[in-house]
Amino acid sequence: MILLTNYEGRCGVYKTVELLKNKVNAIRAIIEGIKLVEANPEIHTVGANSLPNLLGQLELDSAVMDGNTRRSGAVGALKGFKHPVEIAYHVMTDLEHEILVGAGAERFAKEIGAEKYINEMENTKTAWHEFLDSVLTEEQKQIFPNIRLLDVKAKPKDPDPLFDTTVYLAQDYSGRIATATSTSGWPWKYPGRLGDSPIIGAGSYADSRYGACACTHTGEMTIRAGTARSVVLYLKMGLTLSEAVHEAVMDLVDLKTGFTNAVTIHAIDNKGHYKVVALNPNKEVKYLIWHPDLDEPKIKLAEIITT
């Protein structure tokens, strides 16, 4: 058994470890951990009280994947529900589809009885108003939101490194490997933007025969490189976990435009090995690891790759 998460997922780790120890399958174990992150208003990158899009709306993304069947479920640009990861799970179990977005995802959430929630809290509103005040002209402020959003000045060109998706990767007692992700996405994003988190093969991928991978930070880059699937494919080709992650990093480095700085790859293989690397971060990148040889989850630092 093994559990690997990034530091944003810390508040749910003990719950997931408890469930894994009690032989709950990896999918349900990681979902229950992520639900605690989604409900925690102290974490501003996932679920309640996160930072919104340009219109002040929290659009949430999430995905789950079962490495035994390679079935997945994902939701994108979801508004007004407490646990996107649970809704993503039901996309996988209740539909023949793999991803739902926007109004369709919200209709589905209502039909399965998902818990509704107002995720925009005081911090969300305050931070959004302060951001708008710093970037809008006086004329734009008078008529907002009836402006051309493309004209918003000083929009962020590189995502703030403080903000990250929550990713969980686990292998349970039976050998099943699973992944789950949840995020509020790039702060101040253009409405409707999807990053890599709900895109299976980019932000996460699980295959119990080989391993799993999940990525954080600028999803546009890992979408372009198909990073999560690439790591697993490199494992299938016979590379070690370290070699597989290295090749995926080189694929990212070869991209000619965009922001690869701080993109972080989290990976496990089916033998219980793990690897976390971060590209050119401007601060240390933490993650948590647990396996049966550890009394409790341990915080570690990602390997830094400078390009």
> DSSP letter string over 259-283?
--TT-EEEEEETTS-EEEEEES-SS
User: Poorest-confidence range of 65-79, 100-114, 139-153?
Assistant: 139-153
Residue 256's pLDDT is what? 87
Average pLDDT over residues 145-159: 74
Of the residues 165, 216, 227, 264, only one is catalytic, namely 165
Contacts of 280-286 spanning 24+ positions with Cβ under 8 A: 280/304, 280/305, 280/306, 280/307, 281/161, 282/161, 283/161, 285/6, 285/7, 286/6, 286/7
Q: Check pLDDT > 80 for residue 162.
A: no
Whether residue 257 contacts residue 284, with contact meaning beta carbons closer than 8 Å, is answered with no
The full set of domains in the chain, from first to last, is 2-305 (3.60.20.30)
Task: Find the Cα–Cα–Cα–Cα dihedral 70, 186, 94, 18, rounded to 10°.
Answer: 70
Confidence (pLDDT) at 77: 97
Nearest-angstrom CA–CA distance, 278 and 266 = 9
Which backbone phi and psi does 305 adopt, to 5 degrees?
Answer: -115, 120
Q: What is the pLDDT of residue 154?
A: 53
* 165 carries an active-site annotation: yes
Strands 60-66 and 177-183 come out as antiparallel
Radius of gyration of the chain measured on its C-alpha atoms: 19
Between CA 24 and CA 27 the distance in angstroms is 8
| CA–CA gap between residue 181 and residue 158 (Å, rounded) | 21
Q: What is the pLDDT of residues 73-105, one digit of tens each?
A: 999 999 999 999 999 999 999 999 999 999 999
The tens digit of pLDDT for each residue in 29-44 reads 999 999 999 999 999 8
- Quote the CA–CA distance of 82 and 110 in Å, as a whole number: 12
Rounded distance, CA 65 to CA 88, Å? Answer: 9
